[in-house]
Amino acid sequence: MGQNPGMQVSTDPIADDQPADRRPTGRRSGEESAGRRPRARRGEGDRLRAEIVAAASAILAETGEPAELSLRAVARAVGVAATSIYIHFSDLGELILAVKEDMLARFGEVLDTAAAVAGDDPQQRVRARAHAYYDFGLRNPGVYQVMFSSQMVSTPNRPAYYIGRPVFERVRDDVAAALGESGPAAELAAVHLWTALHGTITLRLSRRNFPWPDLDTQLEDLIDRLLNQRR
């Protein structure tokens, strides 16, 4: 964890004001086609699995388009035959689930790091988590949308409902600490925070020209309301 080349972040969160129409999903020129990666040594076959997941994250981070995440595109990016994916994943769905789990783990780490930097004040920790949340989402739209999209949600053997749950729980715990109360009220406040953050990210991505209020103003005001402070 931590060395995935696709996870570094672009500087401008919402650059393009003329967003992509549903264009014909051709092979995109900017792909790192990597050309025939060398085969792993014996016993190291699992390295390909990690490379596949990393390449998938990179595609999402670079294109910003969840629709680009096809089995063949991933194989091209790794520099491997399309069939090689099946050595490690029984299915396109399995691959995508693995990608989601990997991205959610990283996402959770980003939030945890932000909270750790903020220190011990639970209020500040909540604000830091919220800031890191929308920052990540707006800078990595493809990654974010795949993590939380409703498509491709579960496979028979690994139910999807579990993935991402720990991320929520750590936010909720900080909210509970900030409220000084850990019952349903904290749960509700955390749900409000999550849904509003999620809505903010996805709507700002899809309605770029809407006259949105300043992002920090909006989020500060929201957290004020949730943590029950009037300033």
Which residues are at the interface with DNA (CB under 7 A)?
24-27, 36-37, 39-45, 47-48, 70-73, 80-87, 91-93
**Which of DNA, a copy of itself, none does residue 4 bind (CB under 5 to 8 Å by kind)?**
none
The distance of closest approach from Cβ of residue 178 to a copy of itself in the complex, given in angstroms and rounded to an integer, is 15
For residues 212-223, one letter each, b for 16 or more C-beta atoms within 10 angstroms of the residue's C-beta and e for the rest, the string is eeebeeebeebb
Put residue 224 in one of left, alpha, beta given phi > 0 → left and psi -120 to 50 → alpha.
alpha
HSE (side-chain half, CA atoms, 13 Å) at 210: 13
Nearest to 191 by CA among 202, 175, 180, 207: 175
- Alpha-carbon distance 111 to 125, whole Å? 10
**Which of DNA, a copy of itself, none does residue 205 bind (CB under 5 to 8 Å by kind)?**
a copy of itself
Q: Which residues bind a copy of itself (CB under 8 A)?
A: 18-22, 65, 67, 92-93, 96, 141, 145, 148-155, 159-161, 164-165, 168, 184, 187-188, 191-192, 194-200, 202-203, 205-210, 212-213, 217-218, 221-222, 225-226
- Alpha-carbon distance 196 to 201, whole Å? 9
Q: What three-state secondary structure class fits 93?
A: helix
**Which of a copy of itself, DNA, none does residue 160 bind (CB under 5 to 8 Å by kind)?**
a copy of itself
- CB closer to DNA, 86 vs 168: 86
**Which of DNA, a copy of itself, none does residue 199 bind (CB under 5 to 8 Å by kind)?**
a copy of itself
